Amino acid sequence: MKNTRLFWQIFLAVLLIVTGSIVAVSWYGSSMIRTFYYQQMREDIGDRALLLRPHILQLLDHDAGELQNFCQQAGREASTRITVINGSGKVLADSNKNPARMDNHAGRPEIKVAFRGNMGSSLRFSKTLGRRMLYVAIPLWTKQPGRGVLRLSVPATALDMVLADIRKKIVLGTITIALLAAWFSYLLARRISRPLERMQRGAELLSAGKTDHPISLDDDYMAREIADLGQALNAMGRQIHSRIMMISQQRNELEAVFSSMTDGVLAIGADHTIIRVNKAAARLFLIDGKGVQGRPFEGVIRNMVLQKFLEITLERDYPAQKDLDLMEGGRNLSLRLHAVPLYDGEEKRLGSLIVINNLTRINQLENIRQDFVANVSHELKTPITAIRGYVETLLDGAMGDEESAENFLRIIARQSSRLEAIVDDLLTLARIEDRFKNNDIVLEQEKILPVLEAVVQACTPQASRKKVAIFVDCDPALTAQVNRPMLEQGVINLLTNAIKYSSAGKTVSITAVRRQDAMKKDVVDIQVQDQGPGIGREHLERIFERFYRCDKARSRESGGTGLGLAIVKHIARCHGGTVKVRSQIGAGATFIITIPAGSGIR
């Protein structure tokens, strides 16, 4: 059965009950009135018959014509039809019709009752008169009722008119009362259903997650049970809202922790589908963290060794750990995986949670540290060994040979200078890093051209000795926020290297231009381009590391410390900029220092 609204159930039920009750009472009342009126008319006509009976009995012994005349005259005066019937049912006289033409009346209901000595009555349609008549018959002889009957009848029109009028009034009253009942039923149904409808809308909002919309209640005009139900729903809504807010806060906190973790986190289900992936893991495996949820990890993570480890973790009920070296997106990755079983609140196994520690950068830094220690040890050990060797040679008797002693002392002085240069560069790097960490670097708006001219002036003697030409291209109005001594030192280091690795007759150019970067910010590029042998691609990523050399033998012969480019990198960083290199074998090299052109940038 289709559900209907409570309003219509209450409204229609009350309306039908009230209307049905009114109709039933009206029908019963009209029936009682009809019966009462019929009984009154019957008794009235019966009294008339009793009054006429003595006269009829006197005329029965006379001529039949006198009885007929009497019936006609009395019938006209009393507006009543009078009929006299003998014991066989033959009509002896009738006030309205010729008795000779009338049918035998022995079978009439009222006649039969009268023949038994009682007053008989009947309300029926008269074929003779063509209308409804009320017939009342009494026996002419009380001791011998079967000898004859006196019957009086009147038209039932008056009775029908009275009953019709009563029915009309009853119908009008029923309609009026039904309309009033419908109105009151409507008010009653609305009074009951309206708060329930508000509760329904509140429950729908509650189910939709809108727990901060309480149900408005008018407690003074509703049933206590409904008011209590509304208050219970509001209390439930407040509790749900409080719990949802608490759960949301906890979820946001967990989501923030999950998303901000630097270690990758991968949650997989027992059916091998991916449950969650945080940003670190998505970046690590070059995948869309949200787009892969619900997909099998075999279709997302292509490395077979890693897939095998994930399958093993799903089979085990205890933590597992493994170190992997794999290739992902053209990168060599060193990963340490920690896997633990994942359960729900009912301690049912959901899958596994894998925490991925990316050790690639740590291993790279460790390699750099080891290379740095080895390089600095080698760089320091070489001049120290030379100084010590020549000092021991002098002490062993070479002091007597003035020419050899002088030569040895020059070598010792040269190695001491080299050792001093290494220490000075290390101290320079340390000072730059310290000032950068302490935010102790003052940047001022300076013109770039004077800085480049000072650099060229400082490097001109070296360029003249190597017969290398230096060209400068810079807009005199070009300015930037710089620390002039530090920027001069950085450009001098680049220009010194460019001259050092350029052949005689070659040129080195210095260019400074203003442009906008990818973020639409104004920057200044200072380029130092040479025509030297170039740098191999395998060295470009590490060329700015301390003591890193592309050609170690040639670098040492040229007297470099291996710290110049590292110093340039830190100077660019102190200006809030970067340094990069473009080169290939045989085509020279271009070093570019990029610094912000705006003010207030460290």
Q: What is the pLDDT, as a whole number, of residue 81?
A: 86
β 469-474/507-516 pair status: parallel
Same domain, 447 and 502: yes
| pLDDT confidence bin for 220, thresholds 50/70/90 | low
Same domain, 522 and 579: yes
The residue from 163, 181, 207 where one domain ends is: 163
CA R_g for the chain:
62
According to DSSP, residue 398 is labeled: G
Q: Is residue 80 part of a domain?
A: yes
Q: Write the CB contacts of 325 (distance below 8 Å, at least 6 apart in sequence).
A: 332, 333, 334, 335
| pLDDT confidence bin for 187, thresholds 50/70/90 | confident
Query: What's the domain count of the chain?
Result: 5
What distance in Å separates the CA atoms of residue 378 and residue 365, rounded to the nearest whole number? 19
The residue from 425, 451, 473 where one domain ends is: 425
Q: What is the pLDDT, as a whole number, of residue 602?
A: 35
* Lowest-pLDDT choice from 208-212, 279-283, 355-359, 528-532: 208-212
Q: Write the CB contacts of 285 (distance below 8 Å, at least 6 apart in sequence).
A: 264, 300, 301, 328
Closest by Cα among 282, 294, 266, 284 to 352: 266
Q: What is the pLDDT, as a whole number, of residue 553?
A: 44
Same domain, 284 and 389: no
Q: What is the pLDDT, as a whole number, of residue 492?
A: 86
Q: Is residue 50 part of a domain?
A: yes
- Asked whether the beta carbons of 262 and 239 are under 8 A apart, the reply is no
Rounded to 10 deg, the angle between the 64-78 and 6-60 helix axes is 140
What distance in Å separates the CA atoms of residue 68 and residue 82, rounded to the nearest whole number? 10
Q: What is the pLDDT, as a whole number, of residue 458?
A: 84
pLDDT tens across 338-390, in order? 888 888 767 788 888 888 777 777 766 666 666 666 666 656 666 777 777 76
Q: What is the pLDDT, as a whole number, of residue 372?
A: 61
Q: Is residue 214 part of a domain?
A: no
What's 27's domain CATH number? 3.30.450.20
* Lowest-pLDDT choice from 262-271, 394-403, 455-464, 569-578: 394-403
- Asked whether the beta carbons of 156 and 133 are under 8 A apart, the reply is yes
pLDDT tens across 106-160, in order? 888 888 888 888 888 888 877 766 777 888 888 988 787 778 888 888 887 766 6
Q: Is residue 196 part of a domain?
A: no
pLDDT tens across 44-79, in order? 888 888 888 888 888 887 777 788 888 888 888 888
What distance in Å separates the CA atoms of residue 158 and residue 218, rounded to the nearest whole number? 58
Q: Is residue 546 part of a domain?
A: yes
SS3 (DSSP) at 516: strand
pLDDT tens across 444-498, in order? 888 889 988 888 888 888 888 888 888 889 989 888 888 888 888 888 888 888 8
Most confident range (mean pLDDT) of 109-118, 231-240, 304-313 is 109-118
SS3 (DSSP) at 232: helix
Q: Is residue 180 part of a domain?
A: no
Same domain, 547 and 467: yes
| pLDDT confidence bin for 601, thresholds 50/70/90 | very low
Q: What is the pLDDT, as a whole number, of residue 434?
A: 66
- Note the pTM of the prediction, 2 decimals: 0.43
- Asked whether the beta carbons of 238 and 214 are under 8 A apart, the reply is yes
Q: Which one is predicted more confidently, 257 or 438?
A: 257
SS3 (DSSP) at 325: strand
What distance in Å separates the CA atoms of residue 244 and residue 236, rounded to the nearest whole number? 12
The β-bridge partners of 342 are 351
Same domain, 353 and 385: no
- Asked whether the beta carbons of 335 and 308 are under 8 A apart, the reply is no
Residue 541 pLDDT exceeds 60? yes
- Asked whether the beta carbons of 569 and 562 are under 8 A apart, the reply is no
Same domain, 272 and 354: yes
Closest by Cα among 517, 512, 516, 540 to 528: 512
Q: Which one is predicted more confidently, 550 or 542?
A: 542
SS3 (DSSP) at 247: helix
Average pLDDT over residues 314-326: 79
Q: Is residue 190 part of a domain?
A: no
According to DSSP, residue 3 is labeled: -
Q: What is the pLDDT, as a whole number, of residue 1?
A: 44
The residue from 327, 358, 389 where one domain ends is: 358
Same domain, 20 and 125: yes
Same domain, 266 and 250: no
The one-letter amino acid code at 462 reads Q
pLDDT tens across 378-426, in order? 566 667 777 777 677 777 776 767 777 777 777 777 777 766 666 666 6
Same domain, 383 and 417: yes
β 264-269/274-277 pair status: antiparallel
Same domain, 20 and 64: yes
- Asked whether the beta carbons of 285 and 279 are under 8 A apart, the reply is no
What distance in Å separates the CA atoms of residue 82 and residue 84, rounded to the nearest whole number? 7
What's 582's domain CATH number? 3.30.565.10
Most confident range (mean pLDDT) of 25-39, 160-174, 485-499 is 485-499
What distance in Å separates the CA atoms of residue 436 and residue 429, rounded to the nearest whole number? 11
- For tokens 């969650």, what's the residue? 276
Domain extent, residue 100, equals 6-163
Q: Is residue 523 part of a domain?
A: yes
Residues 555-576 as b/e (b if ≥16 CB within 10 A, e otherwise) read bbeeebbbbbbbbbbbbbebbb
| Complete DSSP assignment for 327-365 | EETTEEEEEEEEEEEEE-TTS-EEEEEEEEEE-HHHHHH
Same domain, 368 and 342: no
What integer best gives the mean pLDDT of the chain?
Answer: 77
Same domain, 23 and 56: yes
Q: Which one is predicted more confidently, 434 or 468?
A: 468
| pLDDT confidence bin for 302, thresholds 50/70/90 | confident
Residue 437 pLDDT exceeds 60? yes
Most confident range (mean pLDDT) of 18-22, 101-105, 231-235 is 101-105
Q: Write the CB contacts of 324 (distance below 8 Å, at least 6 apart in sequence).
A: 305, 306, 309, 333, 334, 335, 336, 337
